[in-house]
Homo-oligomer: A and B are copies of this chain.
């Protein structure tokens, strides 16, 4: 899907990634990125239409890489129950790890989500599609028997929201990971049981 990027474009993107991770959104300037990439800032605009677009491109690289891991899970040969559990855990872990290991990049993602940038809306749509696929898979194999498929999908997303959405993760940044993991495990168990027993 992604067009093969030219070397200059790649270089800019890579330098921009370093800058964003190291200095954060506020200190991120097109001028500084261009200088470190060995060109004038005007040339950056040949490849990225705006500062915001460049930042979004950096975030998008991370989002796409996370999506690939999720897609691998969703497309695997395992039972839908296992895949749904691993999908939720992987998504929660990816975001939570980003919060702790790359706080500046997390902040940029968080802002893109809050301001509903195209990259985050599209990511949301694609991730949601993965959930739909796995749940449909489970319905097809009889593992899940919800009365209303759409309602079941919304339920899973709403119930796990606390452990997945950047805005919610920030709230609990200092809660011990083990405790969060235990609570998420409970929630997943309930969600799987709910899908299996047709309560919805």
Q: A residues touching B (Cβ–Cβ < 8 Å)? A: 114, 151, 154-155, 158-159, 161-163, 165, 167-168, 171, 182-183, 186-187, 189-190, 193-194, 199-200
Contact = CB atoms under 8 A, between A and B. Distances in A.
A183 B148 CA distance: 12
Given A154-B186, A158-B187, 6 more contacts: A158-B163, A159-B159, A159-B162, A162-B162, A165-B168, A167-B168
Contacts of A199: 189-190, 193
Contacts of A168: 161-162, 165, 167-168
Contacts of A163: 158
A167 B168 CA distance: 7
- Lowest 5 A-B CB distances belong to which pairs? A161-B162, A159-B159, A167-B167, A158-B162, A193-B199
